[in-house]
Each structure stands twice: as C-alpha cells, then as structure tokens.
Amino acid sequence: MEELNYLLYISVLGVTTVAMAAYLVFFISQNKAVRKVARAILVSSGVLQTLYIVSRYMLTGHTPITSQHETVIFFAWATTWAYLSFRWRYTVKNFGTFVAILIFCLVFISSLAHRDVTVLVPALQSAWLPIHAGVSLVAYGFLSLAFCGGLMYLLLERELKAKKFGFFFERLPSLEALDQLNSHCITAGFVFLTLGIVTGSVWARQAWGTYWQWDPKETWSLITWFLYLVQIHQRLTVGWRGKRAAVMAVVGFLSVLFTLWGVTYFLGGVHSYAG
C-alpha cells in the first residue's frame, strides 16, 4: 500500500506540473486545442488527487487531513474541484491558467513536508475530524478561486489605468466578469467557512467542554471570517466592487494562509498537531 501511495503521489505531482505547463502554453498562444488538452490534464490531476487521498486513508486508517502534507494536498484537491465545478457552470477567460499555477504551488509545497504516517492525538480521534477539517478546506478552495480572480482583476486594472492595452488586456476577461467571479466564489467560500467554524465549535464542546477557547488558530479563523463578512456586507450595502473587492479577496486569502500555516509555526496552540 505504501508503494502504491507513493506512486500515486508522484503521479499527482507530475500530472499537475504538466497541467500547469499546458495552461501556460495556452495563455501565451491562445490556441483553443491546447486549452482542451490542458483542461483534460487538470481533470486527470483532480482524479489522481482523489485516488491519492483515498489511498492515504487506507494507509493511515483515518481521514488524511492531520499533517502538513495531507492538509496541503487536501487544499489542492479542494481548489481543483472547486474550479472544475465553477468551470462547469461559468466560463471566465483564461481563469484556468491562474488556478492551475496555484494548484501546482500547493502540490509542490506538499512535497516539502514529510509524508510519514502520524498517530492521532486523542482530540483528533473523532467523527468531527473529516466534517470540520474537510468543510474548512473546501471553503479555502473556493476562496483561493476568489484570490486568483482578484489577482487577474488587479493586473488588468493596472494596464487599463496606464492605458497600455497589452499582454493581459488581450488575454483577460472584462473587469465586470472578474468582479462577478469574485462575488460568486467568496459567497460560496464564506458559507463553507461559516460551517467550518460552527462544526469546529461543536467539536470543541465535545472534546474540551467549551465551544470556544480563544486558541490562536480559533482566533485567527474568526478574524478571517470577519474579513470576508465585511467584504460581503459592504458589497451588499454600499456597493464595494471593483479594485477594492479584488484587494480584499487577496488580503482575505493571505489571512487564510496564515490561519492554515502561520498560526502553527508562529503562535502554536492546541491546534498545532500537524508536522
């Protein structure tokens, strides 16, 4: 099983790299045939990620979402399938290129963490583990799409402001389309993020006898939630759109990354289980 698990991981890393390369070729050439190939390869990467997670479950005997390696892979998986589900309903010009780069970065980062099987601490031996952690990472997947859309918006807006209708102007969708992408992805991500916090609170009550401990990771998760709440509220009430919304999408995602990794390394706390 260990050998199969390793082979699947190498396949994920290789196929994801090829998918990113194919999307970059399409972004430069704008050849529609290349785009179809790139999308097919990305779907293959998503399938391989799923198989790897399943094989990891069979190897460890629990939901593989407790180490840094497993968390990042699950994050990549959530981003991949969030994008593919989004792409199934909406078409946003060259969005796949930016998402493929992010997915590759996540898979590559996962290769830097050890793949050793870790023994679960008592607090993690709960049915709430896949529910809370899984829902939270699905939220991060959708919020990562908003991050990519925000970057695209800022790149295009910069060219338009400078009146240089060049490389990105020819390849990116309209600012309005990117703003709508931002809204859709943040709304979906915020719903899952809320569910993640609620399920985490219920789990905390079961494990430690209290719904909230103000642990560093809990606190920073709440900060991240408020950042997105403010953006959604301001969009609905005073019409926060455009560049301001794009910047908030980027800032929110940086908060997501700090919640996921920065808290563990710099602040510690009871959530610092993963290695």
Please check whether residue 26 lies inside any domain of the structure: yes
- Return the ∠ at Cα 34 (arms to 78 and 8), rounded to 5°: 40
pLDDT at 20: 97
Please check whether residue 27 lies inside any domain of the structure: yes
Please check whether residue 128 lies inside any domain of the structure: yes
In 135-195 the beta strands, taken as DSSP E runs, fall at none
pLDDT at 19: 97
Please check whether residue 272 lies inside any domain of the structure: no
Please check whether residue 24 lies inside any domain of the structure: yes
Give me the average pLDDT of each 10-residue run along the chain (275 residues).
86 97 94 93 97 90 83 94 87 91 95 80 74 90 95 91 78 90 93 93 77 76 92 84 91 90 57 48
pLDDT at 271: 53
259: domain range?
2-267
Please check whether residue 197 lies inside any domain of the structure: yes
Please check whether residue 163 lies inside any domain of the structure: yes
pLDDT at 84: 93
Task: Report the 3 state secondary structure along the chain.
Answer: CHHHHHHHHHHHHHHHHHHHHHHHHHHHHCCHHHHHHHHHHHHHHHHHHHHHHHHHHHHHCCCCCCCHHHHHHHHHHHHHHHHHHHHHHCCCCCHHHHHHHHHHHHHHHHHHCCCCCCCCCHHHCCCHHHHHHHHHHHHHHHHHHHHHHHHHHHHHHHHHHCCCCCHHHHHCCCHHHHHHHHHHHHHHHHHHHHHHHHHHHHHHHHHHCCCCCCCHHHHHHHHHHHHHHHHHHHHHHCCCCHHHHHHHHHHHHHHHHHHHHHHHHHHCCCCCCCC
pLDDT at 79: 96
This prediction's pTM: 0.90
Give the total number of structural domains in the chain. 1
| Lookup: tokens for 174 | 């309209």
Please check whether residue 262 lies inside any domain of the structure: yes
